[in-house]
């Protein structure tokens, strides 16, 4: 299986690749700093904690995956390698389920 955010067979470059939110997926911020994503196409709701909501907001097509990770490393205490892995895993889930689309970074 190819990593949805890695180089893999399709030739995507995760360092230069940008992610953008899909149309039909809406975010509703909640008072506790969490967010619910509503995907009207699939009829599902996805709960995000505060850090997941931060990642979602940065997926606007202007930042690379690496820039999103770097922002989180600056904002949160934690081992940078773990933050990187957790962020990429989370983004891969959102790409697989169709909430995010990859743009750019093709070689």
Residues 6 or more apart in contact with residue 97 via CB below 8 angstroms: 39, 42, 46
CATH number at residue 68: 3.90.930.60
Query: What pTM was computed for the model?
Result: 0.81
Into how many domains does the chain fold? 1
Residue 104 lies in a domain: no
Q: Does residue 47 lie within any of the structural domains? A: yes
Gap between the terminal Cα atoms of the chain: 20
In a domain, 59, yes or no: yes
> What's the pLDDT tens digit per position in 60-100?
999 999 999 999 999 999 999 999 999 999 999 999 999 99
Domain region containing 51: 18-99
């Amino acid at each position: 299986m190819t990593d949805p955010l890695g180089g893999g067979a399709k030739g995507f470059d995760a360092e230069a690749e940008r992610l953008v939110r899909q149309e039909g997926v809406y975010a509703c911020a909640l008072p506790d700093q969490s967010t619910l994503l509503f995907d009207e196409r699939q009829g599902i709701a996805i709960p995000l904690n505060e850090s997941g909501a931060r990642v979602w907001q940065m997926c606007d097509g202007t930042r690379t995956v690496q820039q999103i990770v770097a922002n989180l490393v600056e904002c949160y205490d934690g081992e940078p390698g773990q933050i990187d892995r957790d962020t990429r895993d989370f983004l891969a889930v959102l790409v697989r389920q169709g909430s995010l689309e990859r743009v750019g970074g093709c070689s």
